Amino acid sequence: MIMTDNKLSVMPQLLPPLITVGKVLAEMGVKSYLVGGVVRDMLLGRFTADIDIAVSGDARDIAQKVATRLAGRYVLLDEINRVARVIAGDGDSRWQFDFSGFNGSIESDLARRDFTVNAMAVDLSQIITDAENADVIDPFGGTSDLEQRLIRAVSDTAFVSDAVRLLRAVRLVAELKFTIESHTEALIRLSAHLVASVAGERVREELLRLLATTGRFLSYLDDLGLLTALIPELVATKGAAQPPEHFWDVFNHTLETVDAVDWLLRQGDDYGSEEFLSVVPWSEMLAQHFADEVSSGSTRRLMFKVAALLHDIAKPQTKSIDPDGRMRFLGHPQTGAELAAGIMARLRFSVKETKLVELMVRHHLRPGQTSQSGMPTARAIYRYFRDTGDAGIDVLFLSLADHFATRGPYLRLAPWQEHCQLVSYVLAQQQEQANRVSPLKLVDGHDLINIFGLSPGPRIREILEAVQEAHAAGELTSREEALSYIRDCFIK
């Protein structure tokens, strides 16, 4: 809700950390202002734990002293521009303070900011004493643009000064449900190529925040020229034809696959019919699985979206036509996994994030290959989760998103139900296998050495893996059976 009277709404839980920081800064004789998104969100009545503070002095030294007083963690964000962060508290009481210095007036500092709705400031001392009546410093009409729900650049050089703002504009549209003002939109189109020069860490942060929203904002990124400037490997997918069972070309199929993710995970806008969604397996366990954190700022849900964006990235370069005219993309999951890993490294995703997405891309066709007819065998399911590792569940759902985005309006319910039944069956069997195997280890390497006289080496690992597979499949249930199995199958 927009505060039409320009009064600030400070969430009660935000006051204690602001009071603490304000006292520290006052003791240091530092003039300070809340600036940027925190002021915007206070006017909108939105909660935020990310607080930007402009200070008169060297923000690095000031932030270090604040971190000490708050028993928080100090992070230097930008040595050249002297920007630093203090992270304090944990859980629901975790706060992030970004300190930047200003010379001269606060108005001159605001003139260098990105958008009018972020170019407002409030004296921190006024927030502490009487937040509701604090004066909002608004030299560029930010409050008016809030009322009109517009994202407007402060100046025509805003994107040249800092190209990450190109992504931030779309992210704010997604988060706030605003519209980019026409002149600003034209500036973005002219400057889109500059996004390729942004440091990977900053791109990752903006991209993750955009993916955290729901809605079809990747299409808007593409319309503005930003998506392919960010990931030029996608250019070749545009207009890349697919076999007749595909409604869209590779690029549009990719965007539809990403859009299907939140629908499958019961989040965001209604993307497909309830009839199709009702047969998709779901549980509290699955909801928690996709909410689990992968790295700082990312969850499995967000990595699922990244994998959906990259899952067919190698189709154009692996395309071939058989003598009978059949179109194929042989090896595209494997080649795509390598490309995805390179893209994620370039955008500074963590090793853990990269590995998860690489596994999803590499194995996204695997669920449909677990059985030629009927349900897969217990051994096939064991091998599937052995090979997909930590990404097994995610790959199953990526296969569903891929299927849903293949036929488009011609998707038929019966094949979709069969696919969902396969996923449900594999999930259930995997849980049964985990319950069967986890409490009991039938044999170990010492047994193979002491009982059968084998020497340490790859042979032992091979035999133990075979025993584990047979155990998971329910073919072995005791130590005696396992030893007999080894004797019959591996000992000559």
Note down pLDDT in tens along the chain; length 492 residues: 344 456 787 777 788 888 888 888 988 888 999 999 999 999 998 888 788 999 988 899 999 988 988 888 999 887 777 889 998 877 667 888 999 998 889 999 999 999 999 999 999 988 888 877 889 999 999 999 999 999 999 999 999 999 999 999 999 999 999 999 999 999 999 999 999 999 999 899 999 999 999 888 999 999 999 999 999 999 999 999 999 999 999 999 999 999 999 999 999 766 668 899 999 999 999 999 999 999 988 999 999 999 999 999 999 999 999 998 899 999 999 999 999 999 999 999 999 999 999 999 999 999 998 877 789 998 899 999 999 999 999 999 999 999 999 998 999 999 999 999 999 999 999 888 877 665 567 788 877 887 888 788 888 888 888 878 888 778 787 888 888 888 878 886
Would you state the pLDDT for residue 475?
79
- On whether both 280 and 411 belong to a single domain, the answer is yes
pLDDT value at residue 272 = 67
Domain co-membership, 1 together with 17: yes
Domain boundary among 399, 415, 436: 436
CATH, residue 156 = 1.10.110.30
What pLDDT shows up at residue 489? 83
Q: How confident is the model at residue 215, as a pLDDT? A: 83
| Residue 39: predicted pLDDT | 93
Report pLDDT for 440: 65
Domain end call among 416, 436, 456: 436
In terms of domains, do 178 and 235 share one? no
User: pLDDT at position 72, please?
Assistant: 87
CATH code: domain of residue 29: 3.30.460.10
Residues 201 and 328 both lie in one domain:
no
CA 149 to chain CA centroid, Å, is 26
* Predicted TM-score (pTM) of this structure: 0.86
Give me the pLDDT at residue 1, please.
39
Distance of CA 315 to the CA centre of its chain: 23
- How high is the pLDDT of residue 92? 66
Are 251 and 397 within one domain?
yes
Which among 203, 230, 257 is the end of a domain? 230
Domain identity same for 430 and 322: yes
Query: For residue 3, what pLDDT is reported?
Result: 45
**What domain range includes position 388?**
231-436
Are 89 and 181 found together in one domain? no
Structural domain total, the chain: 4
d(CA 388, CA 399): 13
